[in-house]
Structure 1
Amino acid sequence: MTRRPENTEPWPLATGEPACIAHRGASAHAPENTLSAFRTAAELGAEMWEIDVQLTADGVPVITHDANLKRIAGIDRAIADLRFERLRDLAPDIPTLGETLDLAASLDQALYIELKAEGAGRIAWNHLLANGFDRAVLGSFSMDEVRSLADAGCPFPLSTLVPLGADPFSRAAETRADIIHLCWERGGGERPQDQVDAALLQRAKDEGLDVVLWHEERKPVLEALMELPVLGICTNQPELMRGFDRFAGLATEIVCHRGANHFAPENTLAAARLSFDQGARYVEIDVHMSADGEIVVIHDATLDRTTTGAGPVSAHNLAELKSLSAGAWFSPFYAAETIPTLGEMIALARSRDARLYIENKTVDAKALVDFVRSEDFLADCFFWSEDPALQEGMRREAPDANIKAAAGRYQNVTEMENHLAPQLAEIHYPDYARLGPRYLEKGIIPMMQYFGEDPAVFDRIVVMAPPMINLDRADLLAAALRRRICDDR
């Protein structure tokens, strides 16, 4: 940046590609502008959080987009009219800037601070200095706010947010900003990236300006934007920018156990969708049958743990099961999630060109494989059951099905082959180095299982590079892969 070189800190990231800026945190997966959304963003691979700063009546900088509490708390009160203690009573999830700075420092995250309230810039600047936090950018749609910071010699990079239809270069000239942030997601139809053409980028370079782009959640658009020479891109879904597709040559197929169950309620469409957006090849799901013969996705035989219902799954028809929340137990954010049918899960997987690992808990073996065959999905999934009768029944009813066996249940490979002729063998992490090569030699795919959260173990898994891995925390494997890339550099 060259517009104020005597004063300005550099852009606080050096990723070698556009930075992933989590828009209001990972706001697709947790309530926007909350500590939960910020922590989730970091876990999903973001390097920076976009946060919005409002001021309370007593001048406390708080992180929330709207000036009024109506949308996020259902209370028609202006934040500027409330003292902080009262605001905290009414909306306890709204964090202060100080709390957000502490979390960002602990998670090694930079901040892209959008100033919403008049005068918020000087207060935010003072908070950054007082906390010794230098990995920040300050920006606003308000040209007066940005210009006042430039005139006062603010040492942090300054960004002018540019609405659709406005001239970014005249706004930069009027504000003395270092960055033009193009908020043009609603322009350009299905190809908004075409608005950021070579002429615009060259002029920005000639004028000593850098570019940040709007929040984007359309995968093809994001992929095009990530090829541009820009500082960063905002997104509600960091996993779309930092998923497994970013690791060239990755040979391991990811299987997410009950979906992305760390971030979303297990065995729901939300958990499966997030897994696929992370780049998982498979999602593991559990199936039972309803009272009226529908195959539904839920782990337990009873409803009590993961839904608002009670009693056996098999005692309720599909309409009754669909009336329950399958996400409220996990977070109010997911209260609208319902128990999916197997058909819905298959449709989601097919829409993402992905696959399923179906664990049969209680469904009649013939009924299950017949249903999957009727969906023309037999080649795109594999089966397993803890119940030996169901496991053997699925193999008997579908000789052409992909069956997984558990290596720990057999004395050797030959015994497993003679019993089930499986296509996959699941091997627990501690046994993988010893057993994995034996199954691979026999043409059986060894799938490592690791449901832990130890970063050191994930570092070792990256080196081992199993053909498949079944895990709870795909995000931790992605983080280990990023560490490996940084070490190689």
Structure 2
Amino acid sequence: MLRQQRLNKLVNRASEKPLCIAHRGASGHKLENTLEAFAYAASLHAEMWEIDVRLTLDGVCVVSHDDNLMHTAGIDANISAMTFAELQSHRLYNGEQVPTFEQVLALAVETECGLYIELKGESAGVEVLRILEQQPEQNNGIEIGINIGIGSFIPEWVAELDKLNCPYPLSVLVRVGDCPFEQAEKAKADMIHLCWERASDTPHEFLTPELIAKAQSLNLPIVIWHEERASEIEKLLTMPVIGICSDLPELITGYRPDDSNPIELVLHRGANDVAPENTEISAVIGYRMGAKVIELDLNTSSDGELMVIHDLTADRTTSLQGPIESLSSEQLKQCDAGSWFAPSFSQQRVSRFSDFLSLAQQFDGELYVELKQADVDQVIQQALACNALSRCFFWSFNSEYLEQISQRYPDAKLMKRRQDFDSLSALIAAGKPTIIEYDYLIDDLNEFSQCRDAGIKVMLRYPGQDIEKWVELIGLQPDSVNIDHPFAFARAYEKWLSQTKGQKQECRLKQEQTV
């Protein structure tokens, strides 16, 4: 495939919205430029990874931003002064070795993620090309290649690849104060990558209509700096750029509902498919990726603290053992509540209910609070003390808890499950809730309009990640969905929206033909 064809493929992939380029992998979560960071970026649905390549003393191409290992391993030694064998003797902070470019490439092919390669060492580009040339592009006539882009801050290194007839799109990275078009000319680049994250608090303002128009006239697609400010990302997503780098891919790859069907996301135990359930990181990722509500479970410690943990015992999800009611809040706050999910989450702890109330306020979100073993008065009083009662709705398998909330706190919002009642009228007669949850398998999904006529919101529960099933369920337009796979839902929603727009356009064309 020719370079221009690959560039067109990249631009077409970004035609609906800018691609998410995970900066040094998901480096806001994991140690930068490691296989762990790249794999996690894939789980957060990043389309490409930005990686930094350089050569060891004996010419092996490895992935590391800095030449010196102090930042990633605490070792004052330079990669360029070591042979690859010597480099392999050192361990990074996460226990890995500095990965080779070939290892990262293999992982990218396996996860179907593209690579945006920044050259950090002289001659690294030539070695990258040699390795890429060894990769099979087709299998029985079917293209299996991934998107590749290669760039550098040093125009001469990029221009060298142009002279070698590089078959991959070339990019020049542009510092604040440099003219992107002059740099592109020097580099013979196909793309300009604006590294202006520190230019101001609102660097999107430097993407003026004049700059964009000139870039378009010169056929120079724009890639954007690494950005972690949600407000800036929302602005950048509306601009004609093909890629946005970020240490936090979930800010880009998350859910953005259309006004025609503004379904709210309720994440069961947080973003539990990419982080340990009921931990603060699972809630933070959930809110960042567009969830309105985080579901959590409350149990009570031996010293009377409301703790966020699902099971009545600590055995399954923590380093402790025994009933929660026999463990102190201090023990729970100090234990390891993440290693069971993955070793890199070992710093996660069991949090207090008040911690989650603070998170909800921080992200202007809400909480779906399930009471396992908890004092109703204590739960409501904590929510009131944090001025967050309106941010919560409540449910429990213990019907006595629900009755107590209903009788003592009429302003508190309750959820009820449709499956627990013989009929919708019986459910409402037992005390009208704010929300009714429908299970997609066992409940009558034709009752949504009746709920809304009664002033009750509909929450649809679907624990799976089948995209086609989600497209079908999204079409039912529930008010919210209670899910376990938010990134899969986001992709399904995009597919539903695309199909809906296509159907509307087809109808308009038929009407015009009829006229």
TM-score, normalized by length of structure 2?
0.85
Q: Which residue number in structure 2 is paired with residue 197 of structure 1?
A: 208
Q: Quickly say closer, same or farther: Cα 1:423–1:88, change in 2 above 3 A.
A: farther
Instruction: Determine whether 1:100 maps to 2:104.
Output: yes
Aligned equivalents of 2:100, 2:413: Cα separation in 1: 52
Q: Which residue number in structure 1 is paired with residue 275 of structure 2?
A: 264
Letter of the structure 2 residue corresponding to residue 46 of structure 1: A
The match for 1:113 among 107, 117, 133 is 117
Instruction: Give the superposition deviation at 1:99.
Output: 3.8
Aligned equivalents of 2:181, 2:45: Cα separation in 1: 32
The match for 2:284 among 266, 269, 273 is 273
Q: Which residue number in structure 2 is paired with residue 230 of structure 1?
A: 241
Aligned equivalents of 2:56, 2:257: Cα separation in 1: 41
Question: Given that residues 113 and 146 in structure 2 are in contact (C-alpha distance below 8 angstroms), is that contact kept between their aligned partners in structure 1?
Answer: no
Aligned equivalents of 2:446, 2:405: Cα separation in 1: 25
Aligned equivalents of 2:447, 2:41: Cα separation in 1: 34
Q: What SS does the aligned partner of 2:412 have?
A: coil
Q: Which residue number in structure 2 is paired with residue 186 of structure 1?
A: 198
C-alpha offsets along residues 268-322 of structure 1, whole Å, 9 cap, x if unaligned?
A: 2211111111111110011122333322212122333323333333334433432
Q: Which residue number in structure 2 is paired with residue 162 of structure 1?
A: 174
The match for 2:323 among 290, 305, 312 is 312
Q: Quickly say closer, same or farther: Cα 1:6–1:395, change in 2 above 3 A.
A: closer
Question: Given that residues 159 and 187 in structure 2 are in contact (C-alpha distance below 8 angstroms), is that contact kept between their aligned partners in structure 1?
Answer: yes
Instruction: Give the superposition deviation at 1:185.
Output: 0.8
Aligned equivalents of 2:243, 2:348: Cα separation in 1: 32
Letter of the structure 2 residue corresponding to residue 112 of structure 1: Y
Moved more, 97-106 or 227-236: 97-106
C-alpha offsets along residues 412-454 of structure 1, whole Å, 9 cap, x if unaligned?
A: 2233233343222222221245464354554433322122233
User: What number of residue pairs does the alignment pair up?
Assistant: 485
Question: Given that residues 155 and 183 in structure 2 are in contact (C-alpha distance below 8 angstroms), is that contact kept between their aligned partners in structure 1?
Answer: yes
Instruction: Give the superposition deviation at 1:187.
Output: 1.6
Q: Which residue number in structure 2 is paired with residue 347 of structure 1?
A: 358
Q: Which residue number in structure 1 is paired with residue 84 of structure 2?
A: 83
Instruction: Give the superposition deviation at 1:353.
Output: 1.9
Letter of the structure 2 residue corresponding to residue 158 of structure 1: L
C-alpha offsets along residues 187-245 of structure 1, whole Å, 9 cap, x if unaligned?
A: 22x11222333343344345443322100011111222233332321112222223222
The match for 1:408 among 416, 419, 439 is 419
Q: Which residue number in structure 2 is paired with residue 12 of structure 1?
A: 10
Question: Given that residues 191 and 222 in structure 2 are in contact (C-alpha distance below 8 angstroms), is that contact kept between their aligned partners in structure 1?
Answer: yes
Instruction: Give the superposition deviation at 1:112.
Output: 1.1
Q: What SS does the aligned partner of 2:88 have?
A: helix
Structure 2 residues not aligned, in runs of 5+: 138-144, 503-515
Q: What SS does the aligned partner of 2:286 have?
A: helix
Letter of the structure 2 residue corresponding to residue 109 of structure 1: C
Instruction: Give the superposition deviation at 1:376.
Output: 2.7
Instruction: Determine whether 1:335 maps to 2:339.
Output: no
Instruction: Give the superposition deviation at 1:149.
Output: 0.8
* 1:87-486 alignment runs, 5 A limit: 87=88, 90=91, 92=96, 94-131=98-135, 132=137, 133=145, 135-188=147-200, 190-245=201-256, 247-434=258-445, 436-437=447-448, 439-440=451-452, 442-486=454-498
Question: Given that residues 149 and 169 in structure 2 are in contact (C-alpha distance below 8 angstroms), is that contact kept between their aligned partners in structure 1?
Answer: yes
C-alpha offsets along residues 384-418 of structure 1, whole Å, 9 cap, x if unaligned?
A: 11222223222222223211122222222233233
Aligned equivalents of 2:445, 2:211: Cα separation in 1: 57
Letter of the structure 2 residue corresponding to residue 295 of structure 1: L
Aligned equivalents of 1:19, 1:286: Cα separation in 2: 35
Q: CA RMSD in A?
A: 2.8
Question: Given that residues 56 and 84 in structure 2 are in contact (C-alpha distance below 8 angstroms), is that contact kept between their aligned partners in structure 1?
Answer: yes
C-alpha offsets along residues 142-191 of structure 1, whole Å, 9 cap, x if unaligned?
A: 33321211222212221111233334333323222222212121122x11
Q: Quickly say closer, same or farther: Cα 1:111–1:421, change in 2 above 3 A.
A: same
Instruction: Determine whether 1:61 maps to 2:61.
Output: yes
Aligned equivalents of 2:426, 2:219: Cα separation in 1: 69
Aligned equivalents of 1:476, 1:5: Cα separation in 2: 32
Moved more, 265-274 or 229-238: 229-238
Q: Which residue number in structure 1 is paired with residue 47 of structure 2?
A: 47
Moved more, 14-23 or 435-444: 435-444
Instruction: Give the superposition deviation at 1:363.
Output: 0.8
Instruction: Give the superposition deviation at 1:359.
Output: 0.5
C-alpha offsets along residues 350-381 of structure 1, whole Å, 9 cap, x if unaligned?
A: 22221110011111112212222333322221
Instruction: Give the superposition deviation at 1:85.
Output: 9.2
Aligned equivalents of 1:448, 1:419: Cα separation in 2: 21
Q: Quickly say closer, same or farther: Cα 1:300–1:88, change in 2 above 3 A.
A: farther
Aligned equivalents of 1:284, 1:476: Cα separation in 2: 18
Aligned equivalents of 2:359, 2:257: Cα separation in 1: 22
Aligned equivalents of 1:49, 1:314: Cα separation in 2: 45
Instruction: Determine whether 1:25 maps to 2:8.
Output: no
Question: Given that residues 278 and 309 in structure 2 are in contact (C-alpha distance below 8 angstroms), is that contact kept between their aligned partners in structure 1?
Answer: yes
Aligned equivalents of 2:4, 2:412: Cα separation in 1: 67
